[in-house]
Amino acid sequence: MKHSRTFPRTLVAAAAVLVASAGLLAVHPPASRAQSASFDADDLFVSPKGSADAPGTESSPTTLASAITRITPGGTIYVRGGAYNLSQTVTIAPGNNGTSSARKELVAYPGETPVLNFSAMSEDSANRGLALNGSFWHVSGITVERAGDNGIFVGGSNNVIERTVTRFNRDTGLQISRIASSTPQSQWPSNNLVVSSESHDNADSDGEDADGFAAKLTVGSGNVFRYDVSHNNIDDGWDLYTKKDTGPIGPVTIEDSLAYGNGTLSDGTQNSNGDRNGYKLGGSDIAVDHVIRRSIAYHNGKHGFTYNSNPGHMSVSGNVGIDNGQRNFSFDGGTSVFRDNASCRAGSSGTKDRIIGDADGSNQFWSGTNGSRCSSYAGALKWSFAADGSLRVSFGGQAPGHS
């Protein structure tokens, strides 16, 4: 029987299905009125043809930039569908905050898909698409494409980014990092949740920087990626890189997510400068105790899961690596704890996994032959998001979410 892997929002105990519990972490996406189409008087509406001085009603919409400066805590900006052709970064400035009990919401109008298109930008580190530098925002249902740098940049804290798509940007699709070099470490972005989002076909001209998702260099603690899919980016699927100049970052959690085909764009383009890993979990021999669990690395160009010179005490559990270009699991140092992981290959050729740390018999790492679990991961990969945002993955021709 082929395998279906479903990642729902509640814990389900089943031998053939590996699932996640949303109760494991304190950060959850808020309920959005966008799904109920119930509008309040203080909500604002924007459209591709909106006017900056318009009141922002449903019949007289304003612009995105104008609405961002006008919305009050607890209010919602509804973004009508269609293409927004933009040439400058859309910035949610520091201090433009919601509260823990009244977030500011930036969401797609129910049933519509807004696309922020920045193709007019040149490739430049200053040319981001949407810069979320405020805190306590909820961004949902928006596609950001073709920015000159990151599609979505998150420099604020306590935000939820949900059901977004970042594609064809000229650096990492969605990146969490400090706002500026002058930002003190106490203000590095923390406690952000990226959930049920997709990032693909991001590529810089040098071919070595554009990942799908990144929380790297300068991030605080509590940042979480859940139910996310990163595929066909020119560099890595996820990048948690650290460097000596800025030191360790806060521990990041990646759970119930999927990385596949990274290192090769959807049109077949590759670049030898790219690292091409599924999940790159460190850098520069700096110890950070990240958590990665119940996630899949499939057919990435180099390693599936790599410590990348992170000698920390990471928790690596319930993951599956399948037919990655070199090792499915590559951990050459550190004291990480490995439980219930599986490593699989379609044939007898490939590079054996390298595991240094605390690994017990619950793992099935690849040393030349497949373990018993690998029969469940044969065949074509399929994935989809369920109505509740959970990620469903299947192998062998079945529809995602069915055993």
Question: Which positions are annotated as active-site residues?
Answer: 280
User: What distances in angstroms separate CA 112 from CA 78, 209, 383, one per listed residue?
Assistant: 10, 32, 22
Q: Which residues pair with 359 in a beta bridge?
A: 338
